[in-house]
A and B are shown apart, each in its own frame.
Chain A
């Protein structure tokens, strides 16, 4: 375990809301199996949605995909899903923390909360990607990612099923780059 921890160089965190599930279902099968980095998914969903989303997503990839657990150490070549109804935070020892505080942007998990926490811990090793969605969660988080030297990527609003969320980030000038859905897997594979 210690070894994995030391080895973590880059981390990808992806936030999405309405219309982003389709993006993930398209991107996941195209990811290379020996992906050297961890990916963390923060998706808006119903508080009661239990294991179904994990099952659905993991059916699309051979990479280990699981719900992030409290105090679990982040490992490379693993995809983690933020559990429903908790905010997902990151500790300095590269483990996950859960938090049941107030919703942010009407959301728990909130993308802003996870992006901000990830930015503090991973700094310029972080790549944050904001997908389709119908509220402005994620924009403040991306700003923090940029301020801490990380890379801020936004799904090209023109390719988003619901463009409000990526549009909000682009308008706030917190996107280093916009990427079309069709380019996304390729981009991740080359990191």
Chain B
């Protein structure tokens, strides 16, 4: 039978990670974390929890693998097309009046969201005065994101999403296909900055007009969500926007009163 963690063992593991390596996963939602750890123990064929724990404590190259595999890096271009349609029609026109636009993608995974945003900015003729800061805890996915190379077989879906978001160009004009891969145009990539940033432990590093943090907070417990909201609040200009994933909300948070929700959208405007 597969080895499965109990709650106590998960606690021991999280403690080790913190004490030995300084990685703090203690405020992550446990159900998903437990599932990811079980999956990793079974992928790497550990006969027991004790051996898994020993490996994590003693082998720092395995720690890298642990972080890569424990985080959920699944993402899509123009995921939730209606969200991108609102960015296009309601949010970007407000940012357009600024002399310079800084956007932070927190938890950008392999970058699909960042390229989608760059395309929107390009079409709104704002890309040249924008900078997209793309960060994640997982260095591996950032390396991927930086390359701008994606699988060709996803392009059909992405192109449909793009059209559903109100895109009118030929989606394939944004990339060059090469066998089963595509590479996105340098022009899009030229305005992106990639860096590791851990939302648990790293602090604010700039002031932004728009922060996107989608499908990251679902992995955090309430306390950590609250801390990250404060971090975002501290990193947003007055009248800046915060965009969350389709199942995430600012409601009931301590900073809610400083923000106004864009009608029916998971987008909030900082009003004070």
| B-binding residues in A (CB < 8 A) | 69-71, 83, 86, 89-92, 97-102, 113, 116-117, 120-121
Contacts and interface: CB of A to CB of B under 8 A. Distances in A.
A100 B248 CA distance: 12
B166 to A, nearest CB: 16
Contacts of A90: 31
Contacts of B34: 120
B14 interface: no
Interface of B: 7, 29-32, 34-36, 72, 74, 215, 218-219, 222, 245, 247-248
B247 A97 contact: no
Contacts of B247: 69-70, 83, 86, 98
B7 A99 contact: no
A92 B32 contact: no
A69 B248 CA distance: 9
Given A91-B31, A117-B31, A98 B74 contact: no
Q: Could you tell me the dominant secondary structure of chain B's interface residues?
A: helix
B31 A101 contact: no
22 contacts: A70-B218, A70-B248, A83-B247, A86-B218, A89-B29, A89-B31, A89-B35, A90-B31, A92-B30, A97-B218, A99-B31, A99-B72, A99-B219, A100-B215, A100-B218, A100-B245, A101-B32, A101-B35, A101-B72, A101-B74, A117-B31, A121-B31
Which of A86, A97, A117 gathers the greatest number of chain B CB atoms within 10 Å? A97
Which of B29, B74, B219 gathers the greatest number of chain A CB atoms within 10 Å? B29
B35 A91 contact: no
Q: Ordered nearest first, which 5 A-B pairs have the shortest CB separation? A: A89-B31, A101-B72, A97-B31, A99-B32, A98-B218
Nearest to A147: B1
Contact of B32 (A83, A97, A116): A97
A3 B219 CA distance: 26
A87 to B, nearest CB: 8
Contacts of A99: 31-32, 35, 72, 218-219
Which of B30, B31, B72 gathers the greatest number of chain A CB atoms within 10 Å? B31
B29 A91 contact: yes
Contacts of A101: 32, 35-36, 72, 74
B10 to A, nearest CB: 10
